[in-house]
Structure 1
């Protein structure tokens, strides 16, 4: 496959740029002096090359430390004059922001019977049409709210190290499709910052933003990503600030121990006033989540930990400038403003919007901006454009035919030129039949979704037992127990031949294998915490179990058996009759066991709180969670999914003989 080199390469970012022409009043933040590197409280405004397929005519990178304190000055090259706006006083522009978020590499959804749904190519067509039909004073931008990785088979092109890298499918098609700017989401870091850096360097022709990610030994701020940028088109200046969730990003990994995510509120307060001073409008690309603290929306079946989310961000930034501000959100997969502006999503004049996830919608915000009008009367329309699913079984003239994707709905040439080569690179891996599912009674979508949060789940039993079997050949020796979190199991299985892709859909997340040494007493305490996380019978009818229930409920391999006694409430729930390898837990409290964790849980479960914070997901009582992060881990470097797939390939079946069973390893009692 030919390596794509984006026009916004790392080299072009580092070059600096030509002098910037002044056409309007000068911002009070601007300081004219030579500056090789900005000092604390400064950002350097450096010209760079925008995506040649995008809409920016000019692009300026804002380099510096956004966390050292409030930005007091924007430093430019000697003699460079930077105007606050390219618009004359009273002049108006129409800005159309076409946005998506949490695509998770669902670029094209492939289905043997229904046909392929060309998700991203549908969005590309709509953006190209909007740009082609734009009026003289209209600017059409195309932006991503982050989480552009983890979730589809295209992730396999990334590899697990820079040496294994083939392509960053998402960033490659974004570059070709005209994306102007994107923010770093939490899942960008799932395969490590070194792989992310390789993807950015190779395939991103647009700037990546985050004002609050810092400390990585591999991914460098001001080289690979930036706190903020200024884009200009038709004289209109648009400032972008990027924010990444501090709750769910994978920090603390051995390969990059200093990677950290600071408070998004701290970062945006420091940066936004200076950005606003040299822009007509500021767009905050917030991969922090809709809501704040504990909130239920989007993919959440119960309230989840959002932390400093979009509500808090809007309240913090509204007083900082009178310029128009838009928050394009992400992370929670929330559908907002589908039918126009919902007043609940306007906080002190700041619009919050989000376009669900996986390309279900292309968001659209049309804003009429006058240079001296501030935030008065500046919205013209806000909404979501649905994409269409493919079902080639429905023929022309049949009921519903128009509601399904047809060739006129997507950019066929773009799909063939840019996406098809990526699919071809995946063909062998995608279509490989790794085994058979002789009976889907226990593993269908319906059964898996119904079981995974309420107790024993056959598919989880199989996965955990498979890892234990594979551990016979682990360099560190056989493990005693394996575990996996319920929300990491995202699909069931149909009866019949099982492809690699179908298993990928079951466990799409980039989880490694981390083996902890735990005493029997620690395992007992872990089960006591787990008992308080189960979805209780009185809750089931009120919760969509096909959604994300962020309680951190864990499933275990067969050596660990116990009963959850529900009692009157979650805080009173207990784990009883615990045995490990057939022995009562009371007899082995001091004995050490090897317990295999997936990465998500080993790192503390983030918003699913195996980190000492109160258990979330609408569990009442502010029950402190067990903190698993301090356990002594052997970070094996192995990938959980790959080990399970290897066992399936060897056995050629996902059936009772290979542990696909309900054996009452966990019982639920009132």
Structure 2
């Protein structure tokens, strides 16, 4: 009897123990992923407004961004997830704020090391100073590879996070940096693994100085990802995450940052070709915000400049080794109020407010203080704000910059200057007395391109303008200098949309030659304007920002040209 009772008790005890442990073993393991993209060295609040739903069917402008506030936002997200990763989808550096760029983006790396970034995929702007300097930025050290001296404020240890470049290979077929990485969470039977693939867009050579990436090839995005998935699966990856510096955007002027309405873009055909085992794609490049959770992988993007972070959850079943649940939302990094060209952007109660992280703020402050003398140096006065257009054209700011580059190259015979709208990074808003500083100008043009004057026929000018409207990428209406006007019709076939061009009131002669000025990026065929590339007899002039500064300073008050020099027959 005693033995029977003992056996029964033992059996019951084992059954109860199994019941108690089974749910724990089989419960999905949640991994939180805090993701952002296109930080562009935005150490200080970038005076950027993010539109958020106001709960009443409209939207509210929220002041956002800044490294110290981003650090706090990341901490708040990670605190909710015992298992977590922090990732970036490229353009962490390049086209940066002055306090970062003056110091070769070393402070941006320092910030990312301190706030706990795990993985960053290379973007096109990581290559702005060339592959050799990017390698130094990753590995550390003080070897001078550019015009500026490194390590001016501190010794530079390099990046403590992983830099991924799956599609960027050298002549031997080796990736410039690792293609992927893997992280494991939990213990025993409840352990799960997340594989991360990082890469930039195939078109990177069209967006950077080709001399800096000589010998490198940028392979097809989907083919690269699909080749890496089975390698990660063989290493035991249960979930596959892709960090890619390519993206799209929603339709409309005020899209929901957590929406996917009318989504389109160059990442769409990449997604359509992906291995179905990819669970999440964190994207960038277009500076747009979206969350697309439909068939295929979950797709996210968090805008730009650290103004948002995407809070992502992947729930992984440790028995089936598959993602069984996923979610994502964009968290606005509300920081400090500011005044834009359109007026005040105050704090709002519609979204959470974040306090700056003291340690990050102190670190950033060292570099901001060091850059302040140069940033605050006055350069002249403007008659009013110079603002960008709707994204595809440069607006009054594009006019102003084009005029400055024409004036700087008159001695080279320049008759027309063109400016690409994507090269204008911020509006130029003077102080109340009209004063603008060097830092203000730098925020507009942070690239340090030289201006180049070359000879084109009238037919080539038309072909170049057509390339901005050719449906192969985002529309770009080139801003033109004073005296040049042109008209286009979007309803006509691509390649035949320019219907009129004139210089000082006289039609452009297709067979005649003209001296035109552009920045060095366009002169290399950047942004897809290949007509400008490889012209013999080109003359190199001053840097774009030097030309801009001289133009502003040349008169007591520089008038902002308000005329529309490019006209569309169909809005």
Is 2:70 the partner of 1:149?
no
Counterpart residue number, 2:120:
182
1:40-65 C-alpha deviation (Å, 9 max, x unpaired)? xxxxxxxxxxxxxxxxxxxxxxxxxx
Partner Cα separation in structure 2 for residue 429 and residue 229 of structure 1:
40
Q: Is the 8 A contact 2:452 2:539 kept in 1?
A: yes
Partner Cα separation in structure 1 for residue 348 and residue 264 of structure 2:
41
Partner Cα separation in structure 2 for residue 277 and residue 271 of structure 1:
10
Counterpart residue number, 1:14:
none
Counterpart residue number, 1:387:
333
Counterpart residue number, 1:453:
393
1:297 Cα deviation from its structure 2 partner: 7.9
Partner Cα separation in structure 2 for residue 325 and residue 95 of structure 1:
13
Partner Cα separation in structure 2 for residue 552 and residue 404 of structure 1:
33
Partner Cα separation in structure 2 for residue 635 and residue 255 of structure 1:
20
1:436 Cα deviation from its structure 2 partner: 0.9
Give structure 1 stretches of 5+ with no counterpart.
1-87, 160-164, 338-343, 394-398, 535-548, 612-626
1:468 Cα deviation from its structure 2 partner: 2.8
How do residues 106-185 of structure 1 correspond to structure 2 at under 5 angstroms? 106-109=42-45, 119-129=66-76, 131=78, 138-154=82-98, 157-158=100-101, 165-185=103-123
Counterpart residue number, 1:503:
441
1:227-270 C-alpha deviation (Å, 9 max, x unpaired)? 11223344543211112112355256234343332110111111
Secondary structure, in 3 states, of the residue corresponding to 1:333?
A: coil
Partner Cα separation in structure 1 for residue 356 and residue 88 of structure 2:
19
Partner Cα separation in structure 1 for residue 256 and residue 348 of structure 2:
28
Partner Cα separation in structure 1 for residue 220 and residue 132 of structure 2:
23
Partner Cα separation in structure 1 for residue 468 and residue 273 of structure 2:
37
Indicate which of 558, 563, 569 corresponds to 1:655.
558
Q: Is the 8 A contact 1:240 1:285 kept in 2?
A: yes
Counterpart residue number, 1:373:
320
Partner Cα separation in structure 2 for residue 497 and residue 514 of structure 1:
29
Counterpart residue number, 2:549:
645
Counterpart residue number, 2:33:
97
Q: Is the 8 A contact 2:94 2:105 kept in 1?
A: no
TM-score (structure 2 length as normaliser): 0.73
Q: Is the 8 A contact 1:598 1:640 kept in 2?
A: yes
Cα distance change on mapping 1:305 and 1:502 into 2, 3 Å:
farther
Partner Cα separation in structure 2 for residue 652 and residue 216 of structure 1:
52
Is 2:140 the partner of 1:207?
no
1:274 Cα deviation from its structure 2 partner: 0.9
Greater RCO between the two (CA within 8 Å, min separation 6)? 2
Q: Is the 8 A contact 2:34 2:84 kept in 1?
A: yes
TM-score (structure 1 length as normaliser): 0.63
Is 2:172 the partner of 1:226?
no
Cα distance change on mapping 1:147 and 1:574 into 2, 3 Å:
closer
Partner Cα separation in structure 1 for residue 105 and residue 486 of structure 2:
47
1:306 Cα deviation from its structure 2 partner: 4.1
How do residues 465-504 of structure 1 correspond to structure 2 at under 5 angstroms? 465-471=403-409, 477-489=412-424, 490-494=426-430, 496-504=434-442
Indicate which of 247, 252, 259 corresponds to 2:216.
259
1:137-172 C-alpha deviation (Å, 9 max, x unpaired)? x31211111121344424x6445xxxxx55423222
Counterpart residue number, 1:274:
231
Q: Is the 8 A contact 2:119 2:163 kept in 1?
A: yes
Q: Is the 8 A contact 2:468 2:476 kept in 1?
A: no
Is 2:179 the partner of 1:239?
no
Partner Cα separation in structure 2 for residue 305 and residue 291 of structure 1:
6
Counterpart residue number, 1:556:
480
1:66-123 C-alpha deviation (Å, 9 max, x unpaired)? xxxxxxxxxxxxxxxxxxxxxx985853311111112222232166xxxx96633233
1:214 Cα deviation from its structure 2 partner: 2.6
Is 2:409 the partner of 1:409?
no
Counterpart residue number, 1:422:
367
1:365 Cα deviation from its structure 2 partner: 1.6
Quote the RMSD (CA, aligned, Å). 4.2
1:478 Cα deviation from its structure 2 partner: 4.6
Indicate which of 500, 511, 535 corresponds to 1:589.
511
Cα distance change on mapping 1:212 and 1:667 into 2, 3 Å:
closer
1:492 Cα deviation from its structure 2 partner: 4.1
1:354 Cα deviation from its structure 2 partner: 2.0
Give structure 2 stretches of 5+ with no counterpart.
1-23, 48-62, 141-157, 340-345
1:289 Cα deviation from its structure 2 partner: 1.0
Cα distance change on mapping 1:215 and 1:598 into 2, 3 Å:
farther
Indicate which of 344, 347, 353 corresponds to 2:295.
347
Counterpart residue number, 2:271:
313
1:180 Cα deviation from its structure 2 partner: 0.7
Q: Is the 8 A contact 1:532 1:574 kept in 2?
A: no
Partner Cα separation in structure 1 for residue 280 and residue 544 of structure 2:
40
Counterpart residue number, 1:610:
529
Give the count of matched residue pairs: 495
Counterpart residue number, 1:360:
307
Secondary structure, in 3 states, of the residue corresponding to 1:466?
A: helix
Is 2:460 the partner of 1:522?
yes
